[in-house]
Amino acid sequence: MFFSAFFFYLITPLFLSHTRAPYCLPNSPCFPLQKELQKLNASVDGRLIKAELYGKACYKGSYDEEECRRLAGVKTDFHWRDGLAAGLMHTNWEQDNQNRGCPIPDLPSDGTSPVPVDGKCELGGMSSYVVNASSVEDIQKAVKFAAKYNLRFRVKNTGHCYTGRSSGKGSFSVWTRHMNDAKFEKGWKACSGDQKQNVISAGPGVNVEELYAFAGKNGVVAHGGFTATVGAAGGFVLGGGTGPMGAILGMAVDTFKAVNTMIGQIGCKDRIAYKELVSRMVDLQIPLREKGQMGTWSASGVDLGVAILSVKPFTSAEQASNPNDTIEMFKPALAAPGCTPLVQANQIPTWNDVYQRVLWPIIQGVGPVGVNIAILSRLISYDLIHDQERLARVKAFIVDLPPDAPFLWQNAVGEATHKISPDATAIHPDWRNAFAFMDVAYQGPWQGVTAHQTATAQAILNNATAVFGTTAYYNENWKLEENFRVTNWGRHYERLLGIKKEVDPRGLFACRDCVGSEIWGF
Ligand SMILES: Cc1cc2nc3c(=O)[nH]c(=O)nc-3n(C[C@H](O)[C@H](O)[C@H](O)COP(=O)(O)OP(=O)(O)OC[C@H]3O[C@@H](n4cnc5c(N)ncnc54)[C@H](O)[C@@H]3O)c2cc1C
Q: How far is the CA of 236 from the centre of ligand 1 (A)?
A: 4
Distance (Å, whole) CA 211 – CA 231: 9
In short, whether 161's Cβ falls inside 6 Å of ligand 1 is yes
- pLDDT over threshold 50, residue 500: yes
Which of 431, 428, 376, 432 has the alpha carbon at shortest distance from 405? Answer: 376
How large a percentage of the chain has pLDDT more than 90? 83
Residue with the bigger pLDDT between 495 and 366: it is 495
pLDDT for 250 equals 53
Q: Are strands 172-175 and 129-132 parallel, antiparallel or unpaired?
A: parallel
pLDDT for 317 equals 79
- pLDDT over threshold 50, residue 14: no
In short, whether 230's Cβ falls inside 6 Å of ligand 1 is yes
- Structure-derived torsion over alpha carbons of residues 274, 278, 265, 230, reported in degrees to the nearest 10: 130
Which of 408, 414, 464 has the alpha carbon at shortest distance from 436? Answer: 414
Which of 176, 182, 86, 181 has the alpha carbon at shortest distance from 133? Answer: 176
Nearest atom in ligand 1 to the alpha carbon of residue 229 is 26
- pLDDT over threshold 60, residue 434: yes
In short, whether 128's Cβ falls inside 6 Å of ligand 1 is no
Report residue 258: phi and psi, to 5°: -165, 150
Query: What is the sign of the dihedral through the CA atoms of 224, 227, 230 and 235?
Result: negative
In short, whether 159's Cβ falls inside 6 Å of ligand 1 is yes
What confidence tens digit (pLDDT) does each residue in 368-393 have? 999 999 999 999 999 999 999 999 99
Q: How does residue 418 score in pLDDT terms, banded at 50, 70 and 90?
A: confident
In short, whether 244's Cβ falls inside 6 Å of ligand 1 is no
Residue 295 contacts residue 311 (beta carbons within 8 Å): yes
User: What is the pLDDT averaged over residues 320-344?
Assistant: 96
Residue 397 contacts residue 459 (beta carbons within 8 Å): no
pLDDT for 406 equals 97
In short, whether 169's Cβ falls inside 6 Å of ligand 1 is no
Q: How far is the CA of 88 from the centre of ligand 1 (A)?
A: 11
Going by alpha carbons, the residue nearest to atom 1 of ligand 1 is: 367
What confidence tens digit (pLDDT) does each residue in 32-43 have? 999 999 999 999
DSSP track, 399-428: HTS-TTS-EEEEE--SHHHHTS-TTSSSS-
Query: What is the sign of the dihedral through the CA atoms of 325, 329, 330 and 331?
Result: positive
Range scoring the smallest mean pLDDT among 12-16, 218-222, 380-384, 426-430: 12-16
User: What is the pLDDT averaged over residues 122-135?
Assistant: 98
Which of 382, 414, 478, 509 has the alpha carbon at shortest distance from 92? Answer: 478
- pLDDT over threshold 60, residue 13: no
Which of 154, 204, 144, 215 has the alpha carbon at shortest distance from 178? Answer: 204
In short, whether 279's Cβ falls inside 6 Å of ligand 1 is no
Q: How far is the CA of 398 from the centre of ligand 1 (A)?
A: 26
Q: How far is the CA of 156 from the centre of ligand 1 (A)?
A: 9
pLDDT for 2 equals 30
Structural domains of the chain in order of their starting residue, each with its CATH number: 368-482 (3.40.462.20)
In short, whether 370's Cβ falls inside 6 Å of ligand 1 is no
Residue 150 contacts residue 19 (beta carbons within 8 Å): no
Q: How far is the CA of 159 from the centre of ligand 1 (A)?
A: 7
Q: How does residue 467 score in pLDDT terms, banded at 50, 70 and 90?
A: very high
In short, whether 204's Cβ falls inside 6 Å of ligand 1 is yes
pLDDT for 485 equals 97
What confidence tens digit (pLDDT) does each residue in 67-99 have? 999 999 999 999 999 999 999 999 999 999 999
In short, whether 160's Cβ falls inside 6 Å of ligand 1 is yes
Distance (Å, whole) CA 127 – CA 466: 37
Going from the C-alpha of 393 to that of each of 285, 305, 388, 396, the distances in angstroms are: 15, 19, 9, 5
User: What is the pLDDT averaged over residues 189-203?
Assistant: 89
Residue 428 contacts residue 340 (beta carbons within 8 Å): no
Q: How far is CA 59 from the centre of its chain?
A: 30
User: What is the pLDDT averaged over residues 50-73?
Assistant: 98
Residue 425, C-beta contacts closer than 8 angstroms, at least 6 positions apart: none
Q: How far is CA 356 from the centre of its chain?
A: 20
Nearest atom in ligand 1 to the alpha carbon of residue 231 is 26
Task: Tell me the pLDDT of the chain averaged across its residues.
Answer: 92
Give, for ligand 1, the residue of 179, 363, 437, 475 to mutate: max count of ligand atoms closer than 8 Å to Cβ: 475
pLDDT for 17 equals 42
